[in-house]
Amino acid sequence: MEIEVGAEVIDRNGKKVGRVSRVLLDTYSGEISKFTVSTQLADADLFYSPEHVLEATAKKVKLKIAFEQSGLMGIQYGAEVIDKNGKVLGTVDYPVTDTFTGEITKFKVNTKLSDQGLFFSSEDVLEATPNKIKLRIAFD
């Protein structure tokens, strides 16, 4: 896979996400491990892996996902968190960031269901936008 800095990035629906701002290579294999995308759709650069790519050339990258479903990449502090049935659980209190890549890997939800809050990861997310996260699970 060849991705160059400056390549245009679009989601699977053709929506322009931004441009590749950085390409991170695996130290041992020399293969692309992550790449960052500068965008106006979120407050910070977004991180993606080759697994997120549907097709790529040096000048254009098409993602497998729609921006609205891009996992935790663009979540914001205070975003509303709901379960799969639409029940409001609380708000994002603390995004946990991978120190090497800067990618948000988990987030803590301030909720009345627990005194210490609840932690979720990308596997728990059904849909995500900067202001709302819908989980794959239900809380009864």
Residue 47 has pLDDT above 60, yes or no: yes
The answer to whether domain 8-63 and domain 80-135 are alike in fold is yes
pLDDT digits (tens, 9 = 90+) for 24-34: 999 999 999 99
Give, in words, the CATH class of 8-63.
mainly beta
Which span out of 2-6, 76-80, 99-103, 127-131 was modeled with the highest average pLDDT? 2-6
What stretches of 11-137 adopt beta strand conformation (E)?
16-25, 32-38, 46-48, 53-56, 60-63, 80-82, 88-97, 104-111, 118-121, 125-128, 132-135
- What value does the mean pLDDT take over residues 48-66? 88
- Enumerate the domain spans of the chain: 8-63, 80-135
Give, in words, the CATH class of 80-135.
mainly beta
pTM above 0.75, yes or no: no
- Using DSSP bridges, classify how beta strands 60-63 and 8-10 pair: parallel, antiparallel or unpaired: parallel
